[in-house]
Chain A
Amino acid sequence: MSTAVTTVTPVMPAKHYLNDNYGIRSWLLTKDHKRIAILYLVSITFFFFIGGLFAALIRMELLTPQGDLFQSDTYNKLFSMHGINMVFFFLVPSIPATLGNFVLPIMLGARDLAFPKINLLSWYIYIAGALFSLATMVSGGVDTGWTFYTPLSSGFLRTHVVLIAVGVIMAGFSSIFTGLNFIVTVHRMRAPGLTWGRLPLFVWSNYATSLIMVLATPVLAITLTLLALERGFHIGIFDPKLGGDPVLFQHMFWFYSHPAVYIMILPGMGVISELVTCFSRKRVFGYAFVAFSSIAIAVFGFLVWAHHMFVAGVSQYSAMVFSLLSFAVAIPSAVKVFNWTATMYKGSISLETPMLYALGFIGLFTVGGLTGIMLAALGLDVQVHDTYFVIAHFHYVMVGGMVTAYLGGLHFWWPKITGRMYPEAPAKLAALITFIGFNLTFFPQFILGYLGMPRRYHAYPPEFQVLNVLSSAGASVLAVGFLLPAIYFMWSLKYGAIAGDNPWRATGLEWQTTSPPPTHNFHEVPVVTTEPYAYGDEPEVTIVH
């Protein structure tokens, strides 16, 4: 099959989106999706470390059984701000707004997203929301938990609930605009020959994510608006004292926030599909199944929200229905895991950094997913509700899944984004440290939760101390794992090896243009004639750095 082996030395293109023009204005007023992706990248990294700082403070408090470092009120604020910042200002925009924004139009062979101005507007709304969040933090924080449950949030707390609610609503609108842009772009801007059956799986998963963003986020917006109005004008919507119904808040909140969990994992799954196929040099096993499982997850995700409310007083019948439907989500998720595994089977696997993250993802997501099935079971959920078991479960999905996939994708597309390679050795080390640190942090929490340690308390019985110390130790390892990439990515901007157009010899339109791409992505409109993952047919090229 292989033709003559050719050797190429990569060169940087003379003109690309980064040196097209200079100056602060050229960034802040840009309508280029690639630059907006970078703006997002910088902003969400900032919030990732803010959220991480709160996590560090939480783990420090939990080193000892006594509540000795912070008062309980302060502790409430710490975990609330950790959750709010991580969920709304990091996880939801993480992959779609950065990697998705950057590569999705290129993968489609388009010059830009359908609505570049709305794309920029989305970033500005995000920043405005972020300022509200920062304002909340500096003015004393908020102690509602990231779920804002009423009537605690609407009638009792004297912290800045309205301020943060406005911030979260804004972050929501920014993700609505991203989703709207993606949906229209995927439908209307595909290159000639790029049929739905030839779309990269990353596009499919971002499309499914966008559906959720567009359909679920408005409900969050109206729910938090009602919450803010109830606080301001004492109208009775959620507060039982005023005739309202607190369970209604939970229904409306989780109608968004459960599908939002899939906003936070589906793009990660898309990244993993790309990585697994590229580094196994093999076409994706069961392309159609992987593609449609994304859509299935998006749709099923809307039918399961009340499994967060089994102990909140929902009717027994509806709890049973929601429990059954929750099991159904496991099917498309498992389809993905099986297909990734089958893709690797008999592939020629190379363990570059992105692949290490992909392998980590598959293992950690499986643990997170399987414990999710346990939690969907009505009987068990009642026992472990609001314990560390739940915390461990969703951190396995959110951090072990999404953050791992995000880092994997960032390494994979870093050469495309910057034109330079990251250093391989420290990157592999960081991937390993992250994996070890992560498991050390969160696996003990499964046991803690199963033994009955409740979430959201700063003090605990002394017999839980060993596991908590393990967890806190793991958190410090994890922090090193997250700081390392920040350092060597910066380093690589100046000193990294020139990457060349296609350092991974990957398929996909984004690898056919230069690295970094020109402002309009392609010098001529590409025409697609093959399936997306035609690995094994490409000519052998050795790249010498």
Chain B
Amino acid sequence: MSTSQTTTTEHHPALAHQFDSMAQQQEASTFGMWVFLLTEIMMFGGLFTAYLIYRIKYYDGFVAGSTSISVSWGFANTLVLIASSFTMAMAVWAGEKGIRKAQMGFLIGTMILGAAFLCIKGEEYYTKYDECHIPGRVIGKGFDATGGCSAQDPKLGNIAEEVQQHAKELGKTVPEASALQTARQSEIFFSFYFLMTGLHAFHMLVGMGLLSWLFLRSKRGEFGPAYHTPLELGGLYWHFVDIVWIFLFPLLYLISRHAHAV
């Protein structure tokens, strides 16, 4: 069908009919992935913008909320995710070289690290659930009188007490009303905390699915020097999700930490 220009590659089984050569297909697919990541940047971008505006508006509430989440877990998770990015990059490298065992090994490693990240995230979420910090008063540990969270609780769990306690340590006093207001504002922080980490975790789940699929294809020996585009695209996606977290960690976990030494 095609004429003169495309004498380069023999017809590879993975070459789709609309492309002339494997090189064109690979370039188009990679570029397509980048354009898709562009849409992802803008989607997370909307959340980051809203976050920034409320952080300026409700700074005290954001400090109170941020210091109530575990910086150690967040720190650990950052390292876990960076390590998973490293193993992913190595899996792509093994794909380019066509070393099947290494591809599979590094993909499994990436998945284990991804699962570890999600487990830690789940543990953090459960703590918030336990502490009645879930915003909106719809989800929480039993909305009954004894021990559980109260739908009318103006203190949002322990936030108002924490604010007063912290002020006392610094030798100041915070009136009850003002502490309650900070608690209310911290609810906005928790909204963003759950929205941003939730959207991120959703992307991680999708990424885990992609990795399993890549693993199966890798096991079948489909990837080698001539064709490893899916592996490369999976890698791009995974690294993007890592980058989102690189920003989420300081923005959510590290607001005014120094004043609230552990």
B138: chain A residues at CB < 8 Å are 232-234
Cβ-based interface call for A480 (8 A): no
A-B contact pairs, 20 of them (CB 8 A): A111-B17, A113-B18, A114-B18, A114-B28, A184-B31, A187-B28, A215-B38, A218-B39, A218-B42, A222-B43, A222-B44, A222-B46, A226-B195, A235-B136, A235-B191, A243-B58, A243-B185, A245-B53, A248-B53, A524-B3
Residues of A within 8 A of B177 (CB): none
Shortest distance between the CB of A148 and any CB in chain B (Å): 15
CA A525 – CA B21 in complex, angstroms? 14
Report whether B136 and A218 are in contact in the complex, using a CB–CB cutoff of 8 Å. no
**CB proximity to B under 8 Å, residues A102-152:** 110-116
Contacts of B137 in A (CB 8 A): 234
Our pick among A176, A215, A221, A234 for the contact of B136 (Cβ within 8 Å) is A234
Do A244 and B188 touch across chains, with their CB atoms under 8 A apart? yes
CB of B44 to closest CB in A, whole Å: 8
Residue of B nearest to A217 (CB): B39
A183 an interface residue at 8 Å Cβ cutoff? yes
Knowing A110-B18, A226-B50, A235-B136 are in contact, say whether A188-B43 is a contact too (CB < 8 A): no
Contacts of B27 in A (CB 8 A): 188
Interface contacts beyond A180-B32, A218-B43: sample of 18 additional A-B pairs, CB < 8 Å, sorted by A:
A113-B18, A114-B32, A180-B39, A184-B32, A188-B31, A214-B35, A214-B38, A217-B39, A218-B45, A219-B46, A237-B188, A243-B184, A243-B188, A245-B53, A245-B54, A245-B57, A520-B1, A520-B17
Q: Which residues of A contact B28 (CB under 8 A)?
A: 114-115, 184, 187-189
Contact A192 B5 (CB under 8 A): yes
* Chain A residue contacts of B188, Cβ below 8 A: 235-237, 243-244
Chain A, interface size: which category? 35 or more
Interface centre among B38, B138, B185 (most CB of A within 10 A): B38
Complex CA–CA separation, A217 to B187 (angstroms): 28
B63 CB to nearest A CB, Å:
16
Cross-chain contact A235 with B50 (CB below 8 angstroms): no
CA distance A234 to B16 in the complex (A): 48
Chain B residues near A525 (CB, 8 Å)? 1-3, 5
> When A and B form their complex, which 9 residue pairs have the shortest distance between CB atoms, in order from nearest?
A218-B43, A233-B136, A112-B18, A222-B46, A218-B42, A235-B191, A188-B28, A234-B136, A219-B46
In the complex where A226-B195, A243-B184, A524-B3 touch, is A115 in contact with B32 (Cβ < 8 A)? yes
User: B212 at interface (Cβ–Cβ under 8 A)?
Assistant: no
B139 CB within 8 Å of chain A? yes
B50 and A252 within 8 A (CB): yes
Which chain A residues border B58 with CB–CB below 8 Å? 243
With an 8 A cutoff between CB atoms, is B49 at the interface? yes
C-alpha spacing A215/B27, complex, angstroms: 21
A183:B35 contact, CB within 8 angstroms: yes
B2, B43, B46: residue with the most chain A Cβ atoms closer than 10 Å: B46
Whether B40 sits at the interface, judged by CB under 8 Å, is yes
> In the bound complex, do residue B35 and residue A180 qualify as a contact, i.e. CB atoms below 8 Å apart?
yes
* A229 interface hit (Cβ, 8 Å): yes
Mark contacts of A171-192 with chain B using CB atoms, 8 A cut-off: 1 yes-contact digit, 0 otherwise.
Answer: 0000010001101100111001
Q: Report yes or no: B36 in contact with A180, Cβ–Cβ below 8 A.
A: yes
Residues in B neighbouring A110, C-beta threshold 8 A = 18
> Chain B contact residues: over half helix, strand or loop, or mixed?
helix
Q: How far is the CB of B180 from chain A (nearest CB, A)?
A: 12
In the bound complex, residues from chain B placing their C-beta under 8 Å from that of A255 are: 46
Are B184's CB and A218's CB within 8 A?
no
Task: Point out the residue from A183, A216, A524 that lies within 8 Å of B42, measured CB to CB.
Answer: A216
Residues of A within 8 A of B135 (CB): 233, 235-236
Check A468 for interface membership: any CB of B closer than 8 A: no
* Of the residues A218, A248, A252, contact of B40 by C-beta under 8 Å: A218
Q: Which residue of B lies closest to A110 (CB)?
A: B18
A333 at the binding interface (Cβ < 8 Å): no
Residues of A within 8 A of B18 (CB): 110-114, 116, 189
Residue A223 at the chain B interface, CB threshold 8 Å: yes
Inter-chain CA distance A222–B45, complex, in Å, is 9
* A206 → chain B closest CB, angstroms: 15
Within residues 56 to 94 of chain B, which ones have a CB less than 8 A from any CB in chain A? 57-58
Q: Are A187 and B31 in contact (CB under 8 A)?
A: yes
Q: Which of B2-40 contact A (CB under 8 A)?
A: 2-3, 5, 16-19, 24, 27-28, 31-32, 35-36, 38-40
Within 8 A of A (CB), among B134-167: 135-139
A263 to chain B, nearest CB (A): 14
Specify the chain B residue showing the minimal Cβ separation from A116: B18
Task: Name A151-210 residues within 8 Å CB distance of B.
Answer: 176, 180-181, 183-184, 187-189, 192
- Chain A CB within 8 A of B47 CB: yes
Residues A221 and B17 in contact, CB atoms below 8 Å apart:
no
In-complex Cβ contact of A236 among B36, B53, B187 (8 A): B187
A176, A187, A188, A520 — most chain B CB neighbours (10 Å): A188
The smallest beta-carbon distance between A231 and chain B, in angstroms, is 11
Interchain CA distance A229-B46 in the complex, whole Å: 15
B32 touches A222 (CB 8 A): no
Determine the chain B residues whose CB is within 8 A of the CB of A219 once the complex forms.
42-43, 45-46
From residue B31, how far is it (CB to closest CB) to chain A in Å? 5
CB of A96, distance to nearest CB on chain B (Å): 15
B246 to chain A, nearest CB (A): 19
CA distance A402 to B35 in the complex (A): 27
Name which residue of chain A comes closest to B38, CB basis. Answer: A214
| Neighbouring B residues of A221 by C-beta, 8 Å | 43
